[in-house]
């Protein structure tokens, strides 16, 4: 196992950090990449190779992959974990911010895939793990741009899996549910800034409360469940194409499949405490 090499993006905290440490424990040579290298001292102390990398900067990604190949001679696992969720009403979110979210969550992952694939194909082996979300299968109000990136990642991964099968390269999608990281609080703060004073304020307040509440944090799963899942996928002889793990992931994905659209909409609105309708005079206020 010591000859296997893994690259994990978004490794400065949360899922990425724990996944890098897990793969290191399994004997992989691990490269943890992130913009904020000063936050990766724990990884460096554990023997993880720390890489400065911005997934919106092609030169940064190229330099990172080139450095891994020069130093280790191969790359066996890519974990595309870098990403973020910027919530707000579709009407309210500036298109520059929407594009930025796609640049990180989709195009950054896609470019890294393009960079590692020549090496994996030459080896006739490799595993690409794309960290999606249950949000790639379900939808919630005020998360349109975020869900759009995750739906896109699901489709890209499915196509990629078929394209790479002849070369012995596996593509795995991990769909986390609610995970105990700083993600929820950051998303809640950004949501209030974006839509807290607009026509969508009632929905924004309810969603922000749900995203950032202590009760949500208590129910959320630890990041280690995702790290364990990635480890299971990359060491399996025949990994599953998808792993839905973490609080709420499997039941919510099941309900989305089972329920008609409007029934699912009503269920989510009740769960999140968001308004489901408006009186005529409410509509005239805006």
Query: Which are the catalytic amino acids?
Result: 146
- CA-derived radius of gyration, the chain: 20
Cβ atoms of 63 and 7 within 8 Å: the answer is no
CA distance 78 to 92: 34
Catalogue the long-range contacts made by 199-206 (C-beta closer than 8 Å, 24 or more residues apart): 199/89, 199/91, 199/286, 200/88, 200/89, 200/91, 200/92, 200/142, 202/274, 202/275, 203/89, 203/141, 203/142, 203/274, 203/275, 204/88, 204/89, 204/142, 206/272, 206/273, 206/274, 206/275
Would you call 62 exposed, middle or buried from its count of C-beta atoms within 10 A (0-12, 13-18, 19+)?
middle
């Amino acid at each position: 196992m010591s000859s296997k090499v893994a690259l994990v993006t978004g490794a400065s905290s949360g899922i990425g950090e724990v996944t890098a440490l897990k793969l290191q424990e399994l004997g992989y040579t691990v490269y943890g990449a992130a913009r904020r290298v000063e936050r990766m001292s724990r990884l460096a102390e554990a023997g993880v190779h720390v890489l400065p990398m911005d997934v919106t900067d092609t030169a940064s990604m190229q330099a990172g992959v080139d450095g891994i190949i020069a130093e280790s001679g191969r790359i066996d696992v890519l974990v595309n974990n870098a990403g973020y969720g910027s919530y707000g009403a579709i009407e309210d979110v500036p298109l520059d911010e929407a594009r930025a979210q796609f640049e990180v969550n989709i195009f950054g992952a896609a470019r890294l895939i393009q960079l590692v694939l020549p090496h994996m194909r030459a080896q006739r082996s490799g595993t690409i793990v794309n960290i999606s979300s249950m949000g790639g299968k379900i939808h919630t109000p005020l998360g349109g741009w975020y869900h759009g990136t995750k739906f896109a990642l699901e489709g890209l991964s499915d196509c990629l899996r078929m394209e790479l099968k002849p070369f012995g390269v596996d593509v795995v999608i991990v769909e986390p549910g609610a995970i105990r990281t700083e993600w929820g609080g950051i998303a809640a703060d950004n949501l209030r800034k974006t839509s807290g004073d607009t026509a969508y304020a009632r929905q924004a307040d309810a969603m922000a409360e749900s995203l950032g509440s202590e009760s949500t944090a208590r129910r959320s799963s630890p990041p280690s469940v995702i790290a364990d899942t990635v480890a299971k996928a990359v060491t399996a002889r025949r990994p599953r194409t998808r792993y839905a793990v973490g609080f709420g992931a499997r039941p919510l994905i099941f309900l989305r499949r089972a329920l008609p659209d409007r029934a699912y909409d009503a269920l989510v609105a009740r769960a999140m405490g968001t308004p489901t309708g408006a009186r005529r005079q409410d509509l005239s206020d805006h």
